[in-house]
Structure 1
Amino acid sequence: MAITDEAIERIKEMIVSGELRPGDRLPKEADLAGRLGLSRNSLREAVRALSLVRVLDVRQGDGTYVTSLQPELLLDAVSFLADFHRDDNLLHLLEVRRILEPAASAMAAQVMSDSAIEELGKVLEELHDDPDIDRLIAADLEFHRRIAAGSGNPVLASLIDNLSAPTVRARIWRGISQEGAAARTHEQHWAIFSAIRSRQPELARAWAAVHVAGVEEWLRQAV
């Protein structure tokens, strides 16, 4: 194991064990390096790496702190990396969405509140029957965001939110170039919503899988 990797592991162990908690300030660099048996340089590199993935917060002139470690904060790194994917690699993102979104839809059908389901339906009602592509994509993002939040699992919701945005360009491209894609998307949204509203988790799971797979299959042929 590289020295910097070892330093990262040692700091991670302190956080996982509860020795360092969210919001805690790390000991001074010299003290922490001596305590962990590391060079100050390797410790400094480890702190820099952990700050990039939002585990640590380096405050100039004040010290280094453990962040809140909230899922949405840590998963920003997923979104950052996903933004660099080429169109052919978007297939990998869509494959992950095809795994996660059906699960979120099934969970939402079981635990999403009635009021939240009503608001979900309003997202679709505002589009009417023949939405243009810009309004459809905006509604698509909001629709899936609300379902993910309605799953009751904040980690799952953050993952879906971070994986959804990088595929927007592909969804717009499909909506413009594939005949009937916009209408099919709108129809599938209604099918997912109806399954959630009627509290049928497996039906919601199936329709969500069909919905994401449609974009994935189109992109697979396109690239």
Structure 2
Amino acid sequence: MTATDEAADGLRAMIAKGELTPGQQLPAEPELCARLGVSRGSLREAVRSLAALGLLESRHGSGTFVSALRPGQMLPGFAATVDVLPLDGLLELFDVRRPLEAQAAALAAARADERVVARLREVQKRLASDLGHEALINAMAARDPAAAAAAATAHLSQTEVRLRRYAPLPDDGPAAG
């Protein structure tokens, strides 16, 4: 692990433990460097990477602050990371996505109103999206959290199966000869 990785991990741990809270300014660089055991250069690089992920905000003339830690602020950084993942890394994400998206779909179905469902149907028509999306929208229209969770899980499973078709076959070692 590089010093920059150590600094980033240390800052993430401080946020996770509540030592640094949303909106709070980071301590001065010398204090953080001493606490994390890294140089200023490594700390600055870690701060830049965490800012790119939406965890920190650098405010010109004011310092660096922990962001509000809203998912919407962090998703663009996550999306940029996903875009460059190799296929095996992308496939690993399905283990995380499955429970998260099933729960999110269930909550959305429980909270959806006619306006939301109508908007989803408009987007579906425009994108000509698949039957998996249609099942999810229908579950939301019925305000059925269990059906929405099942539809999200089924759709992710179908997507994973399609992606696995592109995965290279496991290497069985040197060819016998």
TM-score of the pair, normalised by structure 1: 0.53
Q: Summarize deviations over 1:31-51 as a string: whole Å, max 9, x none.
A: 443455543333333323322
Task: Look up the match of 2:64.
Answer: 64
Gaps of 5+ in 2: 168-177
Displacement, 1:68? 1.7
Task: Look up the match of 1:195.
Answer: 139
The answer to whether the 8 Å contact 2:117/2:140 transfers is no
Displacement, 1:198? 3.6
Task: Look up the match of 2:127.
Answer: 136
Displacement, 1:79? 0.4
Residues 91 and 12 (structure 1 numbering): CA distance in 2 closer, same or farther, change over 3 Å?
closer
SS in 2 for 1:75: helix
Task: Look up the match of 1:42.
Answer: 42
Q: Summarize deviations over 1:41-83 as a string: whole Å, max 9, x none.
A: 3333332332232222233443222222222222322200222
Which structure shows the bigger proportion of residues in helix conformation? 1
Query: What does 1:179-218 align with in structure 2 at a 5 Å threshold?
Result: 185=130, 189-217=133-161
State the AA in 1 paired with 2:149.
R
Displacement, 1:8? 2.7
Residues 57 and 189 (structure 1 numbering): CA distance in 2 closer, same or farther, change over 3 Å?
closer
The answer to whether the 8 Å contact 1:124/1:189 transfers is no
TM-score of the pair, normalised by structure 2: 0.63
Structure with more contact order per residue of length (Cα contacts < 8 Å, sep ≥ 6): 1
SS in 1 for 2:12: helix
Task: Look up the match of 1:155.
Answer: none
Task: Look up the match of 1:54.
Answer: 54
Task: Look up the match of 2:173.
Answer: none
The answer to whether the 8 Å contact 2:6/2:36 transfers is no
Residues 106 and 47 (structure 1 numbering): CA distance in 2 closer, same or farther, change over 3 Å?
closer
Task: Look up the match of 2:28.
Answer: 28
State the AA in 2 paired with 1:119.
R
Deviates more, 1:64-73 or 1:13-22: 13-22
Q: Summarize deviations over 1:92-136 as a string: whole Å, max 9, x none.
A: 389465655444333434x224xx2x1244246658xxx5xxx13
Gaps of 5+ in 1: 141-184
The answer to whether the 8 Å contact 2:56/2:67 transfers is yes
Within 1, Cα distance between the matches of 2:11 and 2:98? 35
State the AA in 2 paired with 1:206.
A
Question: Paired residues, what number?
Answer: 166
CA RMSD of superposed structures (Å): 3.8
Within 1, Cα distance between the matches of 2:32 and 2:80? 30
Within 2, Cα distance between the matches of 1:49 and 1:125? 37
Displacement, 1:12? 3.1
